[in-house]
Amino acid sequence: MTFAAAVTDRTRHLRTRLCVGLDPRADAYRDLTHLRENTLDVLEATAPFAACVKPQLAFFEALGVPGFTLLEEVCAAARLLGLPVILDGKRGDIGSTAEAYARGWLAGPHAGDALTVSPFLGFGTLTPFVEAARANGGGIFVLVKTSNPDQADVQGQGVSERVAVEVARLGDEEEGEYASVGAVVGATHPQDLALFRSLMPRALLLLPGLGVQGGTAAGLAPAFHPGGTGALASASRAVQYADGLSVAASREAARRLRDELNGALE
């Protein structure tokens, strides 16, 4: 089963559109052992309420070799729990470098089921990522309109819309309900979701920024298709650090966000 099919199947069967982000911040823990245990505990506790999990690569990379070991543990644990894995790396480069990124994060020992990628070095730089995703039954999420306030410096004046048209074109090359090429559109832009949904009808939309960044479930309905599929709303700090390092609080936050998302679509 492809990534797009697997995450959509989980959405339908578990009635969840929540993507749980994992940001293991070293300064929040006593030591690496504490960080590892809490991260894995949060993953297991929130899995029943999640459609997928999204490790933020920066926090794993910052830990050095132990971080890569933990990333492999997280990916393995997620798969045992039936959770598709989106690696949030925002990779993007040219030629052989893009090919190396694609091999490393979509086919290598640290690979996830999907990867976030940047199109801002040109649309041709997406090709290695698209090819690797298709070859491995995976997916990519192309940055279209990100959740940060200063995204308009680069993504304004119609740039996001141009990227969206390219995402849709790439998706039209494939069969199936949803294509392997999806898009990142911030949950902090509810007023734009209907437009981007219409521009990319067969793309899965990853909606980061739920919670701490200000995104709310109430404004996200336009991103979804009838039946509540087609989008994944992501929360990281609002779940993993809902109340310090309390795993019980993380579980409750994931449950609440799942219910809020379901309520917004009813």
- The catalytic residues are 90
Helix (H) or strand (E) holding 99: helix 95-106
CB 176 within 8 A of CB 2: yes
Give, in order, the Cα–Cα distances in Å from 206 to each of 35, 54, 170, 197, 265. 26, 10, 17, 11, 16
Asked whether 220 and 209 are in contact (CB, 8 A), the reply is no
By DSSP bridging, strand 231-235 and strand 181-185 are unpaired
* Structure tokens that stand for 227 in this block: 């039946």
139-145 and 231-235 as β-strands: parallel, antiparallel, unpaired? unpaired
The two three-digit tokens of residue 62, written as one number: 């910052």
Provide CB contacts within 8 A for 1, sequence distance 6+.
9, 137
